[in-house]
Structure 1
């Protein structure tokens, strides 16, 4: 059992909360039973190390079974060691170290996707994690992140995906011009979510959302730059029926993705 919170091994795990360590090692941190469970179910080969307190390990029989099925051994640690490793203030007794497994942009579009989310300069970790989760829930084929978007392996992003990080392909660091070019070549229309765009309800009525679509989402504060908007085939806005000034980016992205998912399934 690991008992020293200041040991080099514990410090190495704790450093993964920093982007520099993730870039250097190609590893990232998973915290809590939900994230560890989903990684073990859907991408067990990516897990390098697994740590748990004995009490927590006894509590989750399904996680024990998943780990045993892939011959992954757990390293037991004290509560103090787990707290030193964790990024959260109140860790949940389980931590894993996993390899980053991004998908190449070319492979995403080679798979003939019908619905994807492109994130251009999304900076808030919670927003990005929620967009990935919404893309997963709506049946999207992939999420593509351009170079100025927050690192999807940031611990806050990982937690807010609640495991969806392991359910669909995610591309990292793409150039927006290249991504849009590939989307068009794959037969997708590129639709920008923008407050100055056309009414989404009108686009729904004309059947535009049933087409294979790449939704383009921009920065939380500034939205999409004019140059990015020019790359899109059209821009759409969500109507505001109440008194709210606007919608949170992740909420708006969730609605947009689901509108396309509904339209595509109705048209199938």
Structure 2
């Protein structure tokens, strides 16, 4: 059977998933590259279809052995990928987000709540870091970037498929839900009254992170149990969001495992 071309109806319909409105309506998204596709295939029922070039099918034969693969030509595959150098494999996947109350479970000990995080790379890196630190879940709150944005999916390097996450339009609701489940909410704030390395992080904790440019609004930070600052020992004005999240999440992970 000849590989499908970029003009094929199935390819064109999949290409529409590059738009957030279509992803939201159809509850589908694209996972681009072997890491993302492998992560998706490991989640039962997640993958609807995998588009692959003949060369990629041979290269990733083990990965795609039991996958529902549709062959496409190079041009068709490139139209589905936003990567500069497509790896030759893209999956159409079902949405994975869960309701907030399911994500903020009684057993949760470490959460990351992102409020109005707009950059896809930052959001994806926070998800990847939370996964690496052993966090239980991530909440994308407020006007945060879509978790299914292709750049977000790619920057998680497969971690999007490893841990639960929720979308919550109101960050205050996410904070109160975490507190109601017994987690101490700590706002990462450069002007915080508590030094990160002097804080007691041994208990169940939800870290609250703000926007890359303006941080956390005062009214939202005020809902947290404490505002925690990462000490700056050099001349840098601040740390960027994903770096700050890594420091905070790993500080909690270390304290909880000591």
Normalising by the smaller structure, the TM-score range is: over 0.9
Aligned position for 2:225: 233
User: What does residue 197 of structure 2 align with?
Assistant: 201
Partner residue, 1:61: 61
How far is 1:14 from its partner? 1.4
The Cα shift of 1:111 comes to 4.1
Give the secondary-structure state (helix, strand or coil) at the position aligned to 2:172.
helix
Secondary structure of the 2:139 match is: strand
- What is the CA deviation profile of residues 181-204 of structure 1, one whole-angstrom value per residue up to 9, with x for unaligned ones? 22111111000001101221221x
Q: Secondary structure at the match of 1:209?
A: coil
Counterpart residue number, 1:33: 34
Asked if 1:251 is matched to 2:243, the reply is: yes
Match of 2:151 among 148, 156, 160: 156
What does residue 182 of structure 1 align with?
177
1:94 corresponds to which residue?
A: 89
Q: Which residue of 2 is the match for residue 84 of structure 1?
A: 79
* Aligned with residue 173 of structure 1, among 168, 175, 200: 168
**Is the 1:14–1:87 contact (alpha carbons within 8 Å) kept by the matching residues of 2?**
no
| Partner of residue 215, structure 1 | 207
> Which one of the candidate residues 252, 258, 261 is aligned to 2:253?
261
Whichever structure has more helix as a proportion of its residues is 1
CA-CA distance at 1:177 after TM superposition: 2.2
CA contact (8 A) 1:118 1:145 kept: yes
Q: Which moved more, 1:169-178 or 1:193-202?
A: 169-178
Q: Number of paired residues?
A: 256
Distance 1:129 1:110 in 2: 22
**1:121-140 to 2 correspondences below 5 Å:** 121-140=116-135
2:84 and 2:16 map into 1 onto residues whose CA distance is 15
* Residue 248 (structure 1) shift: 1.1
Measured after TM superposition, the shift of residue 2 of structure 1 is 3.4
Which runs of 5 or more structure 1 residues have no equivalent in the other structure? none
- Cα-Cα RMSD: 1.2
Counterpart check, 1:47 vs 2:47? yes
Partners in 2 of 1:110 and 1:143 — Cα distance? 12
| Structure 2 stretches lacking a partner, 5+ long | none
Residue 174 (structure 1) shift? 4.1
Rounded Cα–Cα distance in structure 1 between residues aligned with 2:98 and 2:78: 32
Alpha-carbon contact 1:2-1:81 (below 8 Å) kept: no
* 2:191 partner SS: strand
What SS does structure 1 have at the residue aligned with 2:84?
Answer: coil
Give the match for residue 9 of structure 2. Answer: 8
